[in-house]
């Protein structure tokens, strides 16, 4: 075995008491140096030895010895090694002088970079795209750039925000299979929004046209709002839970749709529901743009029944508007759907604290969401009831004071201004017409609710029901839209 000097690392012959390179005295119990590659690329002992090589010039001339050619060659290698070790950490590769292997530390850093690169490419860490490429809004692009930067800087905290994107139609006649292995055939595209598509569907072994289809399928981005809606139905709105609620409260109907199937198709997610009729927005658009007070009261009472159930299950809907409300062909049943922004505000019976910025601000239909949603606070019971109030006001008058505004901050400011000025809000909407006393009473009540307060649903419904009865209307008769 060959010994090495503990100070400069030069090779020694057995029996030497002084190092022929640095002139240092060798310890009598010097152990043999390992001939294998060290576990660390450059241990501290080697670094100190390399430093000693630089300091040997200051040794007295009497201690300097004649250096052999072999030792000179080793000194040159040592200097090269020292120059490599002292390079900045930003160099891509650090190699051992003896063997050209990448050090374990560098390998670990390279693996971390590769892991981060893979993370950026996974669907749940980037914009969720449809099978065909779609364009993201400038706001989404900016947020994506910020997210990408944070991932590169900290590979261990690669938490991405889910993005939504326009979903393009798929071919009619396509058969998809849900998680219970039931197959559904897409018969006809009924409606299309920026976020999802609604198809008339039937079971694959049946033949039916769109009017005969008893089911509807909503298709959206895989990691988009349908994922949140699916979780809501699985946790809180199972058919047996709805049936139990009907018996407990002695109701003839509850407008919570039953999800009968869900699954994935390529980069999309789908949910299947029994047919619920047409969206209320379609009826408004095809009509005069507004509804009668009698129809609005009927709608509000049905929706309050649904919201009471949803809130009792610890969720807030957080996106109430005419596009998420369905009316059956008979006009007697009103469904509340579109739980893509549903928020569990009271998990385990403990209400979340009010904290602005805890969620993405301005989520939902910008004209009807509550001020809490504008500020990024978790929606609660009062958020849904205030949104319903905005809907009722818009259905009755055809517009809202902020309908013409385009900036979200301006819309939020207008809503906040009118929270404490309900008479002013009604005058702004009704102009010279007489405002609905039932609506004014409702708005005055819900605008003063506290964030964690449980509403008195019976009181809210009683005021609306009394006004409906004075008009000679009831919940059993068909809606006159």
Which pLDDT score is estimated for 73? 55
The DSSP bridge partners found for residue 239 are none
Written as tens digits, the pLDDT of the chain (481 aa) is 446 777 666 667 777 777 766 667 777 654 444 334 444 444 444 444 444 454 444 444 444 444 555 545 555 545 554 444 444 444 343 344 444 444 554 455 555 444 433 333 333 333 333 333 333 444 444 444 433 333 333 333 333 334 445 688 999 999 999 999 999 999 999 999 888 999 999 998 887 777 789 999 999 999 889 999 999 999 999 999 999 999 999 999 999 999 999 999 998 999 999 999 999 999 999 988 999 999 999 999 999 999 999 999 999 999 999 999 999 988 889 999 999 999 999 999 999 999 999 999 999 999 999 999 999 999 999 999 999 999 999 999 999 999 999 999 999 999 999 999 999 999 999 988 888 999 999 999 999 999 999 999 999 999 999 999 999 988 889 998 7
Return the structure tokens found at 381: 């019971």
pLDDT for res 98: 41
Within 8 A by CB and 6+ apart from 297, the residues are: 438, 464, 465, 467, 468, 471, 473
Distance CA 370, CA 412 (A): 8
| Sequence-ordered list of residues with C-beta below 8 angstroms from that of 26, at least 6 positions apart, any chain | 5, 6, 12, 16, 17, 18, 19
What does the block give as tokens for 204? 């694959």
Q: CA-to-CA distance for 219 and 230, rounded, in angstroms?
A: 12
> How is 137-198 classified by DSSP, letter by letter?
PHHHHHHHHHHHHHHHH-GGG-PPPPB--PPPP--TT-EEE-TTS-EEEEEEEEEE-SSEEE
Residues 244/309, Cβ–Cβ less than 8 Å: no
Chain centroid to Cα 430, Å, comes to 39
- Known catalytic residues are 319
CA 361 vs. chain centroid, Å, equals: 12
Tokens 């893509």 found at: 340
What is the model's pLDDT at position 206?
A: 81
* CA–CA distance, 430 with 424 (Å, rounded to integer): 10
HSE of 151, CA atoms in CB hemisphere, 13 A: 22
Residue pair 96/103 in contact by the 8 Å Cβ criterion: yes
Evaluated on CA atoms 335, 336, 340, 343, the torsion sign reads: negative
Long-range pairs, 58-62, Cβ under 8 A, ≥24: 59/22, 59/23
Any idea which fold 278-470 has? Transferase(Phosphotransferase); domain 1 (1.10.510)
Q: State the number of CA atoms in the 13 A half-sphere of 445 facing the CB.
A: 21
- Helices H / strands E in the chain, number of each: 14, 13
Structural domain boundaries in the chain: 3-85, 104-157, 175-274, 278-470
What's 175-274's CATH class? alpha beta
**DSSP reduced 3-state for 40:** coil
Q: Which of 308, 360, 361, 299 is nearest to 333 (CA)?
A: 299
């Amino acid at each position: 075995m060959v010994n090495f000097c503990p100070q400069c690392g030069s090779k020694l012959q057995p029996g030497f008491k002084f190092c022929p390179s640095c002139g240092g005295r060798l310890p009598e119990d010097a152990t043999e140096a390992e001939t294998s590659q060290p576990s660390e690329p450059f241990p501290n002992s080697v670094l100190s030895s390399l430093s000693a090589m630089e300091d040997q010039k200051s040794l007295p001339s009497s201690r300097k010895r004649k250096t052999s050619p072999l030792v000179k060659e080793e000194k040159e290698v040592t200097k090269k090694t020292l120059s490599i070790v002292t390079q900045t950490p930003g160099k891509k590769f650090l190699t051992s002088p003896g063997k050209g292997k990448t050090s374990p530390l560098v390998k670990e850093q390279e693996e971390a970079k590769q892991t981060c690169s893979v993370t950026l490419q996974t669907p749940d860490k980037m914009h969720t795209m449809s099978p065909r490429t779609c364009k993201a809004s400038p706001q989404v692009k900016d947020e994506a750039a910020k997210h990408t930067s944070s991932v590169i800087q900290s590979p261990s905290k690669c938490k991405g925000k889910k993005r939504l994107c326009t979903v393009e139609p798929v071919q009619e006649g396509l058969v998809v299979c849900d998680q219970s292995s039931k197959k559904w055939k897409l018969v006809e595209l009924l409606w299309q929004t920026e976020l999802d598509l609604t198809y008339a569907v039937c079971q694959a072994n049946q033949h039916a046209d769109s009017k005969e289809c008893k089911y509807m399928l909503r298709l959206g981005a895989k990691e988009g709002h349908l994922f949140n809606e699916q979780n809501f139905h699985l946790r809180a709105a199972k058919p047996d839970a709805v049936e139990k609620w009907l018996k407990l409260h002695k109701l003839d109907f509850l407008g919570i749709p039953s999800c009968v199937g869900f699954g994935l198709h390529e980069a999309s997610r789908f949910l299947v529901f029994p047919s619920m009729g047409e969206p209320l927005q379609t009826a408004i658009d095809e009509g005069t743009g507004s509804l009668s007070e009698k129809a609005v009261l009927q709608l509000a009472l049905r929706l309050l029944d649904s919201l009471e159930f949803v809130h009792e299950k610890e969720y807030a809907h957080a996106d109430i508007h005419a596009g998420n409300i369905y009316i059956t062909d008979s006009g007697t049943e009103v469904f509340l759907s579109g739980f893509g922004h549903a928020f569990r505000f009271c998990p385990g019976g403990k209400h979340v604290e009010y904290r602005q910025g805890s969620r993405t601000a301005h989520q939902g239909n910008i004209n009807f969401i509550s001020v809490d949603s504008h500020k990024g606070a978790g929606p609660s019971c009062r958020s849904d009831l205030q949104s319903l109030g905005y809907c009722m006001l818009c259905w009755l008058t055809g517009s809202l004071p902020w309908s013409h505004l385009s900036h979200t901050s301006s819309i939020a400011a207008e809503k906040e201004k009118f929270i404490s000025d309900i008479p002013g809000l009604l005058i702004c909407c009704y102009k010279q017409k007489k405002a609905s006393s039932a609506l004014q009473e409702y708005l005055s009540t819900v605008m003063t609710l506290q964030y964690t307060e449980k509403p008195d649903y019976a009181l809210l419904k009683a005021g609306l029901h009394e006004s409906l009865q004075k008009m000679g209307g009831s919940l059993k008769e068909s809606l006159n839209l």
